[in-house]
Amino acid sequence: MATLILEDGTTFSGLLFGANVSVSGEVVFQTGMVGYPEALTDPSYRCQLLTLTYPLVGNYGVPKDEDGEFGLSKWFESSKIHAAALIIGELSDDPSHWSSVKSLDQWLKEQGIPGLQGIDTRHLTKKIREKGTMLGKLVVDGTPEDSVPFDNPDKRNLVQEVSTKEPKVFNPSGSLRITVLDCGIKYNQIRCLAQRGACVTVVPWDHPLDSKDFDGLFISNGPGDPQFCQTTINNVRKVVCVESPKPVFGICLGHQLLSLVIGSKTYKMK
């Protein structure tokens, strides 16, 4: 057993699965139909307790981590699980799928990530939707609640934690040169660009930029507050705020960074 405790004192008790550890972070929900292997390995969920609203999770197990096109993982969006915990309504105990090599429970255990099932995810989602993202902690039964402090990951540079440490080139024979600022990129973004004939150079979040190096600039998704990425903002400004800039495209956090580049302000929505 374990209990999810929100910063306003609300509690949700359920069954623990995955790793037998207590964690804290932001509690968020995801209503999309994307699979749980993809969601859990999305770097944008770094340090977040991820609630999936789909009623049954784990029914098709977890696939083998194998390389696909361009040396990218075939089934996952990054090299590991980034969410701090997984919160669901019901866990399937009997996964069945041709690609499955292990259960969701086994995968979470291997990666040291706890899961909580058997709670009213609809009630939790409605609460977060109205109040906005909330801090929370998942406390395993028998662990003193006070020994697991609330942790606000938005107070540190999460982009720096998930970004690549050195430049990497994918599809080097591609005709168009796309530089990608990795602020927490998902592998499928690299794959989509490479499949369309681009030579994709993925660089760290704070990598200096020169328009001579690319035909187009792509700024990825990522976790946390974009205000921590002042180095990125200054670097992008040097290649965007010029008379004839090269094409630039952002997604999610990338959009926020572009807004900051041109002098707008960002704030966290509910």
> Of 91, 126, 153, at which residue does a domain stop?
153
pLDDT digits (tens, 9 = 90+) for 147-181: 999 999 999 999 999 999 999 999 999 999 999 99
121 in any annotated domain = yes
Read off the pLDDT band of 195 (50, 70, 90). Answer: very high
> Of 119, 153, 187, at which residue does a domain stop?
153
Read off the pLDDT band of 2 (50, 70, 90). Answer: very high
The neighbouring-strand residues paired with 203 are 181
163 in any annotated domain = yes
Q: What is the pLDDT of residue 269?
A: 85
Same domain? For 141 and 222 the reply is: no
- Please enumerate in sequence order all residues whose Cβ is within 8 A of that of 144, keeping only pairs 6 or more positions apart, or say none: none
Same domain? For 120 and 169 the reply is: no
* Mean pLDDT, residues 2-10: 97
Q: Check whether 34 has a pLDDT greater than 90.
A: no
* Mean pLDDT, residues 182-208: 98
Q: What is the pLDDT of residue 31?
A: 86
Q: What is the pLDDT of residue 219?
A: 98
Q: What is the pLDDT of residue 172?
A: 97
Taking Cα atoms as reference points, which of 153, 197, 205, 164 lies closest to residue 178? 197
Q: Check whether 9 has a pLDDT greater than 90.
A: yes
pLDDT digits (tens, 9 = 90+) for 169-178: 999 999 999 9
Same domain? For 54 and 92 the reply is: yes
| Cα dihedral 230→232→238→242 (10° resolution) | -100
Q: Check whether 33 has a pLDDT greater than 80.
A: no
Alpha carbon distances (Å) from 122 to 52, 54, 114: 9, 9, 20
Same domain? For 55 and 165 the reply is: no
Q: Check whether 68 has a pLDDT greater than 90.
A: yes
CA distance 254 to 181: 9
Looking at the 3D structure of the chain, how many domains does it have?
A: 2
* Mean pLDDT, residues 50-55: 93
* Mean pLDDT, residues 76-99: 96
Mean per-residue pLDDT of the chain? 96
Q: What is the pLDDT of residue 270?
A: 82
CATH number at residue 241: 3.40.50.880
Same domain? For 172 and 203 the reply is: yes
Same domain? For 107 and 221 the reply is: no
Q: Where in the sequence is the domain holding 79, given as residue range(s)?
A: 2-153
The neighbouring-strand residues paired with 12 are 4
Read off the pLDDT band of 133 (50, 70, 90). Answer: confident
Q: Check whether 137 has a pLDDT greater than 80.
A: yes
Read off the pLDDT band of 32 (50, 70, 90). Answer: confident
Same domain? For 40 and 100 the reply is: yes
Q: Check whether 144 has a pLDDT greater than 90.
A: yes
* Mean pLDDT, residues 210-230: 97
Same domain? For 175 and 96 the reply is: no
